[in-house]
Amino acid sequence: MTTKLRNLFAIGASAMLLAACQGQDASDTGSTGTDDNDSADTTETADFTLGMVTDEGGVDDRSFNQSAWEGMQVWAEDNGYSDDAVAYFQSNDPQEFVPNLNQAVQAGFDIIYGVGFQLTDAVKDVATANPDQHFGIVDSVVEEDNVVSLNFRDNEAAYLVGVAAAHSTQTNKVGFIGGIAGPVIDKFEAGFVEGVKSVDPSIEVDVQYAESFSDAAIGQQIAAGMYSAGADIIYHASGAVGNGVFTEATDRMESGSETELWVIGVDRDQEELGEYDGGNLTLTSSLKGVGTAIQIASNETKDEGFQGGENLIYGLAEDGVGVTEGNMSEEAWTAVQEAQEAIINGDIEVPEAPVAE
Amino acid sequence: MQLIRQHKSFLSGLIVPLTSILFGFIFGAILMLAFGYNPILAYQAMIVSVFQSPYFIGEALRQATALTFTGLGFALAFQAGFFNIGIAGQALAGWVSAVWFALAFPDLPRIVLVTLSLIIGLIIGALWASIAGFLRAYFGTSEVIVSIMLNYTALQITNYLIRNVLSESGNSTERVGENANMGFAWLSALTQNSRLNVGFFIAIIVVILYWVFMTKTTAGFEIRAVGLNASASRYAGMSAEKNIILSMFLSGALAGLGGAVHGLGTFGNIFTQGGLPDIGFNGIAVALLGLGNPIGIFFSSILFGVLNIGAGFMPNQAGVPDEMANIVIAAIIFFVGANYIIRYFLDKIAAKKEVTNSASQGGDV
Amino acid sequence: MSELEHVIEMVGITKEFGNFRANDNIHLDLRKGEIHALLGENGAGKSTLMNILSGLLEPTSGEIKVNGKTVKISSPDVANELGIGMVHQHFMLVDKFTVAENIMLGREKTKFGYIDRKKAEKEIQALSDQYGLKVDPSARIENISVGMQQRVEILKTLYRGADILIFDEPTGVLTPQEIKELMGIMMKLINEGKSIILITHKLDEIKQVANRCTVIRRGKSIDTVDVASTSQQGLADMMVGRTVSFKVDKKPANPKGTVLKVKDLTVKETRGFDAVKSISFEVQAGEILGIAGVDGNGQSELIQALTGLTKSSSGTIELAGKNVTNLKPRKITESGLGHIPEDRQKFGLVLPMSLEENIALQTYYQKPFSNHGFLNYKEIKVHAKRLIEEFDVRTPSEEHTAASLSGGNQQKAIIAREVDRDPALLIAAQPTRGLDVGAIEYIHSRLVELRDNGKAVLLMSYELDEVMNVSDRIAVMYDGKIIAIVNAKDTNESELGLLMAGVSLNDAKEQVEGKEKEKDAVDSTT
């Protein structure tokens, strides 16, 4: 279903949603932003600019894309640039990747990031056609001299939240909801399952895929099924699909669920999504420093020149991924920290793909 | 009903879609004003940016190419009285099979490989739609529900094939070889490297073929007759079953061809899909906007291509959020869908002034 | 209240559509408390005139006075305010709503924004009782009969305060019993002080209830006459503009050889009951076999089986020596069947298509109309033009839609199409339903002509007059069976009536004879 048709059915609702979005992702465009920066800084034209092209999830997916965009905004602020220094281009369909990248090229940004493995081919094509333009690709590798690849050891963070889940479950059953199956999400699944089993192999992990990164309704549906089947903690690695998971958990808790239900967030701290009447049900979030990585890479380019052709990998050791303490018990948090040490030391090696059954 | 008359003349036929488009733009402008954006700046960004650059004109036409096929596909079934909401799934089926074939036989000569790949896409799309047609013809199941379910079936099968057959547990297939390339060097040179390809010319040919088929052939005559009055057509000896299956087959064929052109021309591969391709549902909108007329569908597709590509300029050039741009497009679709309302008001105005021919020929109707 | 008080005067009404004058200087006046019939052929301009009166159309010139005051009726709302209400031929009711909801539609009485259903229902009930309409305001439209639905339409106009009611062909959809009741209701309305304009082309209805009658022909008002002092023949002649023959002129039949042979045919209806029960009969070349019977005794199912639209469950159908049982409709058509279906708009024509396409609807796939899958519009047009000419189908051109034709001309187009194919057997089901006398006369003569040319004709009609006048032999259907086949010459209305009610032929003959004897006895005693 396209965004357009959805809008069609609920133009009114969309208008309200828009008002909400405005507050979150379009604040750069409308307001002057004087509260964030000195007026002296904002009037200065930025001498270095960043653009990004989202994948289908859109910039307000509360996870991956949003994290990248927030990172870029922080970067602009840190460098004392005005809001014009950064911009995003939203893609509603894969066919828009290439025109969006070209729009960004036309606008003349210093680096243009393609956020998400879905953009691999598009970035490769546009990079070949524009050899003087610098590009970045997140979660994938493009071997071109004018492209820097940013990758993350998501499996390591996922392992840690797996440990957290195993220490927190009351029902001995937890769930994993993936977006679209493939190498990227495989890392999350493999890490999580491994983390859970490392604590207690008897804990059942229910793994399901939404085959979407954008449809919250499917997320809610799968979550409902998992909770009904006795799982009490769900880890999602599914972009905006996860919003549905949070909705289902909040609904259940607010209508008096007998077991205490939890959701584990992904990519950025999703604590705010877990708020409900009686507290917060975000157990923890696995962090993916998309924003941080973009900041680091951009600053390096700005100061030292572009690391073209390199594949920069961020893991726990590089602080590129991590977990939040969230609402974990003391015991769980200790276990997570121990596991983190072990991974950084190399005592534990987390697999990148699930073990074939 | 006396008030809702058929507009026969070409001009008044144009009024409804044009008014819908105008209303959509006005509605979008009001909404933008309400949220404090400048609609003039926004529309300027949308339209001017596209027409200033050969590249974006090319991209808009490329998008229009796929929409023309899917739009015609929907219109064909619609004229026969069926609501083929499975266009998206049929397009996807055409896409995956065309790419598959192109990957499997990379060494065939270019013209042969492109032609065969497109034909394979067309056939698979047609067969996929025929399932719904067949079930409707012989078991009376609703083609709407069946084709919705087939959409998701196509989506899951496609993703499965990509992961397990067409690639090694990856998210996308390899690119098809040079021999399956639908691009023309001169065309991409003309449009500054846009992905506009030979599919655009195929689309124009198909528009003409569609028109000839519907108005000049006995099969098209039957489809029209069945769509307008199924009972009378049965009395006249036309086979309901045959026409259901035929119209769904052809509808799916057009959608499948659209998917194949989209797949080979735009991407050159296929990747796991997060949802059904946009060209399916937008094709339905295009068909409704074009009021089932092939030329109208062609121009509606171009309008959609321009709007879609142009919408991308609104956030960064006019400060209008992307969602807003989508709402404007949605509003246009809405007013097209609501053309009954527009028709009603136009008729009221017309009825006041003068009354159309239909009332005059027979005082009693 | 003077008897001659005029509630409506329409003076010199002219309405032009482009070059076409639908109404040409028409005069009509309606007296208070009368039923005034408006008589005219299909297409004469009656509906145009009434649309002007009810505000749907504005006249090109002319004057309308209501209760002596000149008014301008610019919209249906204005007509409403003036107390003019129209009971439409095609009901404008929402099936899923109740009677009360339908009546309130657009006139919702609200109390603090909520619809006060109870109050409205009470008012409607009171109105219904006042005029003896016996309508249940809480019943759903889909659950009540067509006759009841019409009464809802009448109530709707009364609820909106109409004093002048226009009835547009009100009896076309009603059963004889319902027609009788409607006449009663109209009389009651008059007694309560309402005035009525009755649009119709059924002469006997006019004779029954109307006080005066205005005749319209080709857009002009011909005359206004007192009904009591004018004969039906006189009215008919005025309407058509020449002397009309009610009796079908025909020579004795000259049957030669069986064309249709039906043996032990059983047909199930949609719910699975036997609608046609083991029927056998034959139709000869050169004769017209009429099928009489009350609606719903298996006639429709019989015809559907004969034309291949429904499969029979047992028995055989032989057409021109060929077994056509359960063949597809096209195969049967090609074996020599022509068919004028019962509902011409639903089954006979594709209304939004052009007349030429409709005329080719059975033959478009054959040479010369098509060649290797491509239509030859040149031939189709030539053919259509010839038939339009030959069968006097009145249309501006063959490219106009079938929908734009009047009912009689639509039927002529179908007959042209079917007869021109030169079928061995023509099945005509209700061929004259809803048509005016001129068109009926024409169609009847065509059927007879076909018979005289050695074709077989099977005529199914619910109208006894039609069956008796046109047929050579009459098969009476009752409860899915043919109860008797009689010669048209040797039977009479009473006998057929009894047969249609299920009385056996012998009993019927006895009863009829008995009555005649009684009558003779009464006659002789006086």
Residues 232-291 of B with CB under 8 A from A: 262, 266-269, 271-279, 281-282, 285
Does a structural domain hold residue B339? no
Domains of chain A are: 43-152+290-314 (3.40.50.2300), 154-287+327-345 (3.40.50.2300)
- Write the pLDDT tens digit of every residue in C44-55: 788 889 889 988
Q: Is the distance from CB of A15 to CB of B30 less than 8 angstroms?
A: no
Q: Between B356 and B318, whose confidence is greater? A: B318
The alpha-carbon radius of gyration of chain A (Å, integer) is 20
- The verdict on B236 touching C (C-beta cutoff 8 Å) is yes
**Rounded average pLDDT over A130-151:** 94
- Write the pLDDT tens digit of every residue in C53-86: 988 888 999 999 999 899 999 888 889 889 999 8
Nearest to B330 among A8, A25, A87 (CB): A8
Distance (Å, whole) CA B219 – CA C373: 7
Q: Is the distance from CB of C402 to CB of C349 less than 8 angstroms?
A: yes
Residues from chain C contacting residue B362 (CB–CB below 8 Å):
42-43, 404-406, 409
List the single residue in A with minimal CA-CA distance to B264: A95
CATH class of C256-336+424-491: alpha beta
Q: Which H helix or E strand runs over B82?
A: none
Q: In angstroms, how far apart are the furthest CA atoms of chain A?
A: 61
Distance (Å, whole) CA C511 – CA B304: 78
Does a structural domain hold residue B176? yes
Nearest to A117 among B171, B309, B329 (CB): B171
Does a structural domain hold residue B7? no
List the single residue in A with minimal CA-CA distance to B27: A11
Does a structural domain hold residue B360? no
**Rounded average pLDDT over C188-198:** 92
- The verdict on A89 touching B (C-beta cutoff 8 Å) is yes
The dihedral built from the CA positions of residue B156, B161, B167 and B172, taken in this order, carries a sign that is: negative
- The verdict on B228 touching C (C-beta cutoff 8 Å) is yes
| Total CB pairs under 8 A between chain B and C | 117
**Rounded average pLDDT over A85-89:** 91
Does a structural domain hold residue B184? yes
B355: pLDDT strictly greater than 50:
no
User: C475: helix, coil or strand?
Assistant: strand
Q: Say yes or no for a CB contact (<8 Å) between A121 and B269.
A: yes
pLDDT band, very low/low/confident/very high, at C110 (cuts 50, 70, 90): low
State what percent of residues in chain B have pLDDT above 70.
89
Nearest to B266 among A95, A102, A181 (CB): A95
- The verdict on B169 touching C (C-beta cutoff 8 Å) is no
State what percent of residues in chain C have pLDDT above 90.
41
- The verdict on B362 touching C (C-beta cutoff 8 Å) is yes
Tokens read off for C26: 């028409």
- Measured in degrees and rounded to the nearest 5, phi and psi for residue C342 equal -65, -45
- The verdict on B9 touching C (C-beta cutoff 8 Å) is no
Chain A interface, best mutation among B323, B324, B329, B339, by max A CB count within 10 A? B323
Q: Say yes or no for a CB contact (<8 Å) between B171 and A118.
A: yes
Residues 471-510 of C with CB under 8 A from B: none
- The verdict on B361 touching C (C-beta cutoff 8 Å) is yes
- Write the pLDDT tens digit of every residue in A198-241: 999 999 999 999 988 888 999 999 999 999 999 999 999 998 89
Residues from chain A contacting residue B325 (CB–CB below 8 Å):
none
The total number of structural domains in chain B stands at: 1
Residue-level pLDDT at C4: 60
List the single residue in B with minimal CA-CA distance to C362: B236
A18: pLDDT strictly greater than 60:
no
Does a structural domain hold residue B269? yes
DSSP 8-state secondary structure symbol assigned to residue B77: H
CATH topology of C6-240 equal to that of C256-336+424-491?
yes
Residue-level pLDDT at C218: 83
A300: pLDDT strictly greater than 70:
yes
Least confident of A169-178, B88-97, C348-357, C387-396: C387-396
Distance (Å, whole) CA C171 – CA C184: 13
Q: Say yes or no for a CB contact (<8 Å) between A92 and B326.
A: yes
Q: Is the distance from CB of A24 to CB of A17 less than 8 angstroms?
A: no
Residue-level pLDDT at A33: 34
Least confident of B133-142, C194-203, C396-405, C511-520: C511-520
Give me chain B's average pLDDT, please: 87
**Rounded average pLDDT over C443-447:** 90
- Write the pLDDT tens digit of every residue in C137-150: 888 888 887 788 88
Of A257, A210, A198, nearest in space to A233 by CA: A257
Q: Say yes or no for a CB contact (<8 Å) between C407 and B217.
A: no
Distance (Å, whole) CA C373 – CA C511: 62
List the single residue in B with minimal CA-CA distance to A85: B316
Residues from chain C contacting residue B359 (CB–CB below 8 Å):
17, 22, 48, 57
pLDDT band, very low/low/confident/very high, at C521 (cuts 50, 70, 90): low
- The verdict on B216 touching C (C-beta cutoff 8 Å) is yes
Residues 192-231 of A with CB under 8 A from B: 211-215
Residues from chain B contacting residue A357 (CB–CB below 8 Å):
none
Tokens read off for C36: 């005034």
- The whole-angstrom distance between B95's CA and the closest CA on chain A is 13
B192: pLDDT strictly greater than 50:
yes
B147: pLDDT strictly greater than 90:
yes
Residue-level pLDDT at C88: 82
The residue range of the domain holding B295 is 65-303
User: A295: helix, coil or strand?
Assistant: helix
- The whole-angstrom distance between C9's CA and the closest CA on chain B is 21
Q: Is the distance from CB of C179 to CB of C204 less than 8 angstroms?
A: no
Residue-level pLDDT at C107: 65
Residues 294-323 of C with CB under 8 A from B: 307, 309
Nearest to B326 among A4, A87, A106 (CB): A4
**Rounded average pLDDT over B302-331:** 84
Q: Say yes or no for a CB contact (<8 Å) between C57 and B355.
A: yes
Nearest to C404 among B225, B239, B362 (CB): B362
Are chains B and C in touch, 3+ Cβ pairs below 8 Å? yes
List the single residue in B with minimal CA-CA distance to A51: B316
List the single residue in A with minimal CA-CA distance to B196: A99
- The whole-angstrom distance between A338's CA and the closest CA on chain B is 33
Does a structural domain hold residue B55? no
Angle at C438 (CA atoms; ends C433, C441), nearest 5 degrees: 75
- The verdict on C371 touching B (C-beta cutoff 8 Å) is no
Least confident of B70-74, B237-241, C14-18: C14-18
Q: Which H helix or E strand runs over B350?
A: helix B339-353
- The whole-angstrom distance between B339's CA and the closest CA on chain C is 19
Q: Say yes or no for a CB contact (<8 Å) between B172 and A121.
A: yes
- The verdict on B106 touching A (C-beta cutoff 8 Å) is no
Does a structural domain hold residue B199? yes
The model carries a pTM of 0.78
Give me chain C's average pLDDT, please: 87
Sheet containing A311-314: order of strands? A86-89, A50-53, A111-115, A134-138, A147-152, A311-314
List the single residue in A with minimal CA-CA distance to B158: A211
- The whole-angstrom distance between A269's CA and the closest CA on chain B is 24
Distance (Å, whole) CA B45 – CA B266: 24
Q: Say yes or no for a CB contact (<8 Å) between B217 and C375.
A: yes
Distance (Å, whole) CA B197 – CA B193: 10
pLDDT band, very low/low/confident/very high, at C525 (cuts 50, 70, 90): low
Residues from chain C contacting residue B357 (CB–CB below 8 Å):
17-18, 400, 404
Sequence spans of domains, chain C? 6-240, 256-336+424-491, 348-422
Residue-level pLDDT at B84: 94
pLDDT band, very low/low/confident/very high, at A322 (cuts 50, 70, 90): very high
Domain range C6-240, its CATH number among 3.40.30.10, 3.40.50.300, 3.40.50.1820, 1.10.510.10: 3.40.50.300
Distance (Å, whole) CA B300 – CA B25: 15
Chains in touch with A (3+ beta-carbon pairs under 8 Å) read B
Distance (Å, whole) CA C208 – CA C228: 9
- Measured in degrees and rounded to the nearest 5, phi and psi for residue A152 equal -130, 145
Chains in touch with C (3+ beta-carbon pairs under 8 Å) read B
Q: Where are the alpha helices (H) located in C229-320, listed in sequence order?
A: 232-240, 299-307
- The whole-angstrom distance between A216's CA and the closest CA on chain B is 12
